Structure 1
Amino acid sequence: MEFEILVWLLLLFATPLWFLATILFKSKPPPSPPSSNPAAATAAIPKVYPIIGSVPSIIANKHRRIHWMSDILHASPSSTFVLHRGFGSRHVFTANPTVVHHILKTNFPLYQKGPTYKSALNDFLGQGIFNTDGAEWKLQRQISSHEFSTHSLRKFIETVVDVELSDGLLPLLNDASQNKTIIPDFQNILQRFTLDNICKISFGFDPECLLRETPFTTALTDAQIICSKRLHAAFPLIWKIKKVLNLGSEKRLKEAVPEVKDLARRIMREKKKELGEKETLDSVDLLSRFLSSGHSDEDFVIDIIISFIIAGRDTTSLVLTWFFWLLSKHPHVEEKVLKEVTQKDTVYTHACEEMKDMVYTHAALCETMRLYPPVPMNSKEAMRDDVLPNGSLVKKGWRVTYHIYAMGRSEKIWGSNWAEFRPERWLTWEEVEGRWRFEAVDAFTYPVFQAGPRVCLGKEMAFLQMKRMVAGILRRFKVISEVAEPKYDGYFTSFMVGGFPVRIQNRN
């Protein structure tokens, strides 16, 4: 009885505020489209109201959340802005490399995932590496770090990607080419391909998702979207009440999470059985080594499996989605990439170390991620009061988000030609050697793979996988976009809204 009374009190308290925000929102003019030039951005600073803060503006711009905040940051002299959420809550956004360095390295212990993040994502990510701090995070990172550094793992990646290409993706593209059919969503195909890849590489398990959509892939996507919406909700109290009452999106989340965890549990138990039947460990996949190290608590291992699946499925596939679209818009870049991969004949003959010689392809991938980062924003929470390098105050409990999308399109960082797709901006021509040399950018200026202690462990693996996929596809096929100007949006990770329809043309 007391619990039911509490729920009704929460509803009575939240409903008037929701209606007030709705009324204020309707009184506002429709939002302007995303600016094409940050120097000309006319983003208005959101008005702050008592109690509800800038919630009306948050609601008004929820359909263009990434672009809206990017415009505000570009118009801000310090590239940093404090957003007022409801009930006195504050959220700091920044596109300032000095501030990013401060929160990701200088004051790393101060900025953690925090209770807000963990509360929104715990049902889905549990104690996985993306949702933990302190000792739990260090343990998972230590084990993962060892595995990502092994030569045998890199060789295994080569083998898996090549087999999946030759037996799965390339025949699928060849059929589309011969039948002259349009692939309605190449983005989805790439996601399913990389899902199979990461499961085989990390767990020695093939979910066989490439040729068909499965309940698991649908549940994985739904769970990610719902949890991300929780995190960015104007009134977090609403989703918490919906969770208690099992309504709407929260009802769907309760259905989706068990679907995802059931597959993770099956992967784990099959691997345990396999390891139990062997006298020595001869498998090089991550899960085998993780279980063999003595960390066999089921819930803990399931959370780790889910984190690896998310990281391996979305990031590389979404980068390649935008990469192939950009190549279709810039044939001179495609010609240079094709020349490089054809000369090196990389797909089946070159070893992992030699893939590093694909410097122009590497630069083109980096340029793609600058304009269309696979993770648009990343958030931390302040564990105590702090002052940022630009003078902005941060109070304990405030969220601080570095806006990767805004940073990649900042004229202050990249100059007046920021909007151009130019792989050459990452390269220096060596006259004596007659070849390009890659020039890396400071990780705090280009935090696509994060930076500091939490820098992405899978960076090398991701580039290796993407280069082998690019080489394998481009040597045989031309990918022709059927969409002129796709829209970029995102939750935890970005995506091309409406999918990526393409035609496939056989180069032979």
Structure 2
Amino acid sequence: MFHVPPPTRICGLFREDDEASIHTYLTSFCYLTLGRAEEKEGRLLPSCRWSHLDPYTIHDEMLLFLLEVLLLGALLLGLVYYFLLLPPRYPQNIPAIPFWVALIPFFKDVDQSDIFRQYIDKPLRTHGAVKIFFGAQWNILVHRPSYLVEIFKDEDLYEKSGNQKKIPHSVLAEFLGDNIISARGDVWKNYRSVIKPGLQRNFDGEIIESNAVSLCRLLRESQKRAGSGGGGVAVQDLLQRYSVSNFTEAVLGVFRSVLTAADSSQALDSADAPINLLQAAVKREIFKPIFMSFPFLDRLPLKSRLAARRTVGLFKNELKRALQASHHMPMEKTSPLSDQSDDKLGQRMLDARASGMWDEKQLLDNLTVSFVAGQENPQLLMISSLYLLAKHPEAQEALRQEILSKDAKSSADLAKEDMPYLTSLIYECLRLFPPIGQLINRKAAETALLGGDVVIPKGIYVGYHCYSTNRCPIAWGPTADKFDPGRWGSSSEVIQQNYRRRRVRGEWISFHGGKRACLGEKFAMLEMRTTLIQLVREFSFALDPMWVDRKTPVLPASSLTELSVPHNLRTRGYASKLIDKHDWRRPLRSSFKCTRSESMPIHPMESNYVQEPHVDPNATPTFEKRQSNAKKAAP
């Protein structure tokens, strides 16, 4: 085998018009490649020189092999793009968000709100729906309220289908499993018969008030540690522990001593409690953009994903252990579950398992999703509420005056009073920052025509963007993006009328809609009312001027890889030096400054230097000394 001469050298051997000579040359070259060429047979021209025909080298073979690999890779990429990344043909009258938008957070530290405004907001509002890539497939994401009313109303056509069916091999599906939120038909009715009575009963507000008092104590201690210079206090970790205590104690009926570490008597004080450590570890692993967009990667035996699955298992088992330890559940029980059984949700779940109504997986899955929804969503609402109150000191002061006008009562009692401004403020916080900004968990059972003009192919997943719909300018006017509690009305009657009308029209979907609306709304509202009453009555809030205003938390880079999970979860009082060292519990840098309010008595040891920010929203917060007013009434 000989090397083919470059074209320029070939042309130099012949005249451009000598076609016969060129034909003879090529024929001779073919003979040479077969090893049978002779000069007389090839009738080579005298001027031809073959000294440049060198045998193939290993380098040439390597280049050819690499070329073949590149061509094969390009072919595979083309097939992947065509079958996976290329947007579907239908619906034809709505745009598609580029698939790489979902991967931006993986390659660049960017705020979620910036991504939404730049790539999603305009096409979503203009067309009412878009095609969006999520979970390794294309979905329909809906914005228009009239479309949502249609989806919520027709449960059989737009049927629930959760991650356990959409991406059954993923860590996320293993975490949440088959549960009341994603199930449908008889399975959903089975779950609802157990869970609904436990979530819609009358809750003990004193439990929440007791935890709120402890939360305020921890905030004061954090403020002291921040120093007298007015250092900010990161509230996210404290609010997580607070919401965990509220849900586990008030809803599940778990004793606080079961969740705490050995050196703590209060669940809120126990930052090293296994449930807190495991929950933080699970959050850190599940919501990574690359695995959310391409969940098939969870099939690979990656060390990090295997560790994530183990953490998920430990978390679910810890929840069950705490539940059983609190309720002392007998091993056998044959009586069926009824509405007259223990109204605590945790006991009802254990009863369903013991009676054979649920199997072990159904117990763990529904316990997990109930905990996540009942703890995380209120926590997110608390953070967004404090954020808005800190940005709008006039609203903070108006709420404080409404609280003080009810005289000195406990927070639990005040939460049951007629407080229209508090109610409208919570609704407005939920409107601007719904805890679940986007939800895609429905599938078209048949080809449908949404709104009379959007063709929904059979089998495609359909979801909605709560953040966008709640800010629809057609429904809410030109001030849709503005914080304005007054838009709901000034009396409780008017506020509730507006609230019901907005929900029926699909213009406010923070608690979703239809017969699959949130079952925990009653508890969430009680928890928020009690929490805000206690916090606003005792503190004033301002954003730390050193904090960058963004919606996506900034995590320490070191904490992403070095977070460890204890192996023996039954052991209490274990060290957590690694976690404390990297301060993983502070996802935002000192976001709030919490200071005592004028309406609360000051402890004698704190009376000399109490930090009180000026209320000018445009000025940098400053602090000054003031003397305590011991005559103010205590709650």
TM-score, length-normalised on structure 1? Answer: 0.77
Q: Tell whether the 8 Å contact from 1:92 to 1:400 is kept in structure 2 after alignment.
A: yes
SS at match of 1:400: strand
Residue of 171, 185, 195 corresponding to 1:134: 185
| Structure 2 counterpart of 1:360 | 421
Q: Tell whether the 8 Å contact from 2:412 to 2:530 is kept in structure 1 after alignment.
A: no
Q: Tell whether the 8 Å contact from 1:81 to 1:93 is kept in structure 2 after alignment.
A: yes
Q: Return the alpha-carbon distance in structure 2 between the equivalents of residues 388 and 255 of structure 1.
A: 42
Q: Return the alpha-carbon distance in structure 1 between the equivalents of residues 101 and 495 of structure 2.
A: 47
| Structure 2 counterpart of 1:113 | 161
- 1:262-341 to structure 2, matched below 5 A, reads 262-271=317-326, 273=328, 284-292=343-351, 294=355, 295=357, 297-341=359-403
Larger Rg: 2
Q: Quote how far apart the aligned CAs of 1:398 are.
A: 1.4
Q: Tell whether the 8 Å contact from 2:200 to 2:520 is kept in structure 1 after alignment.
A: no
Residue 96 (str. 1) matches residue 148 (str. 2)? no
Q: Quote how far apart the aligned CAs of 1:268 are.
A: 3.5
Aligned residues, how many? 450
Q: Return the alpha-carbon distance in structure 2 between the equivalents of residues 428 and 108 of structure 1.
A: 39
> Given residue 425 of structure 2, which amino acid in structure 1 is its aligned partner?
A
TM-score, length-normalised on structure 2? Answer: 0.63
| Structure 2 counterpart of 1:423 | 485
Q: Tell whether the 8 Å contact from 1:410 to 1:418 is kept in structure 2 after alignment.
A: yes
Alpha carbons of 1:109 and 1:198: their partners in 2 closer, same or farther (altered >3 Å)?
farther
Q: Quote how far apart the aligned CAs of 1:210 are.
A: 2.2
Q: Tell whether the 8 Å contact from 1:198 to 1:308 is kept in structure 2 after alignment.
A: no
Q: Quote how far apart the aligned CAs of 1:67 are.
A: 5.1
| Structure 1 counterpart of 2:609 | none
Alpha carbons of 1:173 and 1:143: their partners in 2 closer, same or farther (altered >3 Å)?
same
Q: Return the alpha-carbon distance in structure 2 between the equivalents of residues 479 and 404 of structure 1.
A: 27
Deviations 1:104-156 (A, max 9, x none): 223455331252155543311123323422222221222222233333xx2x2
Residue of 438, 442, 447 corresponding to 2:509: 447
Deviations 1:275-297 (A, max 9, x none): 6899xx99642112333353464
| Structure 2 counterpart of 1:488 | 551
| Structure 2 counterpart of 1:78 | 127
| Structure 1 counterpart of 2:250 | 201
Residue of 123, 135, 146 corresponding to 2:174: 123
Alpha carbons of 1:336 and 1:19: their partners in 2 closer, same or farther (altered >3 Å)?
farther
> Given residue 185 of structure 1, which amino acid in structure 2 is its aligned partner?
A
> Given residue 59 of structure 1, which amino acid in structure 2 is its aligned partner?
L
Q: Tell whether the 8 Å contact from 2:201 to 2:343 is kept in structure 1 after alignment.
A: no
Residue 192 (str. 1) matches residue 246 (str. 2)? no
Q: Return the alpha-carbon distance in structure 2 between the equivalents of residues 16 and 239 of structure 1.
A: 21
Alpha carbons of 1:122 and 1:198: their partners in 2 closer, same or farther (altered >3 Å)?
same
- 1:343-382 to structure 2, matched below 5 A, reads 343-345=405-407, 348=410, 351=413, 355=416, 357-379=418-440, 380-382=442-444
Q: Quote how far apart the aligned CAs of 1:321 are.
A: 0.8
> Given residue 313 of structure 1, which amino acid in structure 2 is its aligned partner?
Q
Q: Return the alpha-carbon distance in structure 2 between the equivalents of residues 423 and 134 of structure 1.
A: 39
> Given residue 502 of structure 1, which amino acid in structure 2 is its aligned partner?
F
Residue 220 (str. 1) matches residue 283 (str. 2)? no
Q: Quote how far apart the aligned CAs of 1:45 are.
A: 6.0
Residue 498 (str. 1) matches residue 542 (str. 2)? no
Q: Return the alpha-carbon distance in structure 1 between the equivalents of residues 455 and 358 of structure 2.
A: 43
Q: Tell whether the 8 Å contact from 1:73 to 1:94 is kept in structure 2 after alignment.
A: no
Q: Tell whether the 8 Å contact from 2:135 to 2:167 is kept in structure 1 after alignment.
A: no
Q: Quote how far apart the aligned CAs of 1:371 are.
A: 1.4
Q: Tell whether the 8 Å contact from 1:381 to 1:398 is kept in structure 2 after alignment.
A: yes
Q: Return the alpha-carbon distance in structure 2 between the equivalents of residues 86 and 456 of structure 1.
A: 24
More contact order relative to length (CA 8 Å, sep ≥ 6): 1
> Given residue 311 of structure 2, which amino acid in structure 1 is its aligned partner?
A
Residue of 253, 265, 290 corresponding to 2:308: 253
Between stretches 410-419 and 116-125, larger displacement belongs to: 116-125
Deviations 1:220-255 (A, max 9, x none): 2443454444797443333333xxx1333x123123
Q: Tell whether the 8 Å contact from 2:160 to 2:443 is kept in structure 1 after alignment.
A: yes
Q: Quote how far apart the aligned CAs of 1:344 are.
A: 2.4
Q: Tell whether the 8 Å contact from 2:541 to 2:593 is kept in structure 1 after alignment.
A: yes
| Structure 1 counterpart of 2:566 | none
Residue of 173, 193, 204 corresponding to 2:219: 173
Alpha carbons of 1:264 and 1:318: their partners in 2 closer, same or farther (altered >3 Å)?
same
Q: Tell whether the 8 Å contact from 2:445 to 2:458 is kept in structure 1 after alignment.
A: yes
Q: Tell whether the 8 Å contact from 1:488 to 1:496 is kept in structure 2 after alignment.
A: no
Q: Return the alpha-carbon distance in structure 2 between the equivalents of residues 268 and 192 of structure 1.
A: 17
Deviations 1:405-453 (A, max 9, x none): 11123222211112221000111459xx9x9776314222111001011
Alpha carbons of 1:67 and 1:15: their partners in 2 closer, same or farther (altered >3 Å)?
farther
Q: Return the alpha-carbon distance in structure 1 between the equivalents of residues 197 and 452 of structure 2.
A: 37
Deviations 1:252-309 (A, max 9, x none): 312311220221221243245256899xx99642112333353464332222221121
Alpha carbons of 1:282 and 1:86: their partners in 2 closer, same or farther (altered >3 Å)?
closer
| Structure 2 counterpart of 1:161 | 208
> Given residue 141 of structure 2, which amino acid in structure 1 is its aligned partner?
F
SS at match of 1:396: coil
| Structure 2 counterpart of 1:56 | 100
> Given residue 295 of structure 2, which amino acid in structure 1 is its aligned partner?
P
Structure 1's unaligned 5+ residue stretches are 1-11, 26-43, 48-53
Q: Tell whether the 8 Å contact from 1:74 to 1:406 is kept in structure 2 after alignment.
A: no
Residue 466 (str. 1) matches residue 556 (str. 2)? no
Alpha carbons of 1:60 and 1:277: their partners in 2 closer, same or farther (altered >3 Å)?
closer
Alpha carbons of 1:169 and 1:415: their partners in 2 closer, same or farther (altered >3 Å)?
same
Q: Return the alpha-carbon distance in structure 2 between the equivalents of residues 373 and 496 of structure 1.
A: 22
> Given residue 132 of structure 2, which amino acid in structure 1 is its aligned partner?
L
| Structure 1 counterpart of 2:29 | none
Q: Tell whether the 8 Å contact from 1:428 to 1:439 is kept in structure 2 after alignment.
A: no
Q: Tell whether the 8 Å contact from 2:473 to 2:480 is kept in structure 1 after alignment.
A: yes
| Structure 1 counterpart of 2:296 | 237
Q: Quote how far apart the aligned CAs of 1:82 are.
A: 1.8
Q: What is the aligned-residue RMSD (CA, Å)? A: 3.7
Between stretches 174-183 and 445-454, larger displacement belongs to: 174-183
> Given residue 136 of structure 1, which amino acid in structure 2 is its aligned partner?
V
Alpha carbons of 1:489 and 1:101: their partners in 2 closer, same or farther (altered >3 Å)?
farther
Q: Tell whether the 8 Å contact from 2:178 to 2:365 is kept in structure 1 after alignment.
A: yes
Q: Quote how far apart the aligned CAs of 1:389 are.
A: 0.7
Alpha carbons of 1:100 and 1:232: their partners in 2 closer, same or farther (altered >3 Å)?
farther
Q: Quote how far apart the aligned CAs of 1:61 are.
A: 6.4
SS at match of 1:130: coil
| Structure 2 counterpart of 1:35 | none
SS at match of 1:401: strand
Identity among equivalent pairs (%): 20
Alpha carbons of 1:146 and 1:234: their partners in 2 closer, same or farther (altered >3 Å)?
closer
Alpha carbons of 1:377 and 1:347: their partners in 2 closer, same or farther (altered >3 Å)?
farther
Q: Return the alpha-carbon distance in structure 2 between the equivalents of residues 14 and 330 of structure 1.
A: 54
Q: Return the alpha-carbon distance in structure 2 between the equivalents of residues 340 and 358 of structure 1.
A: 7
Residue 210 (str. 1) matches residue 300 (str. 2)? no
> Given residue 83 of structure 1, which amino acid in structure 2 is its aligned partner?
I
Q: Tell whether the 8 Å contact from 2:385 to 2:429 is kept in structure 1 after alignment.
A: yes
| Structure 2 counterpart of 1:3 | none
> Given residue 331 of structure 1, which amino acid in structure 2 is its aligned partner?
P
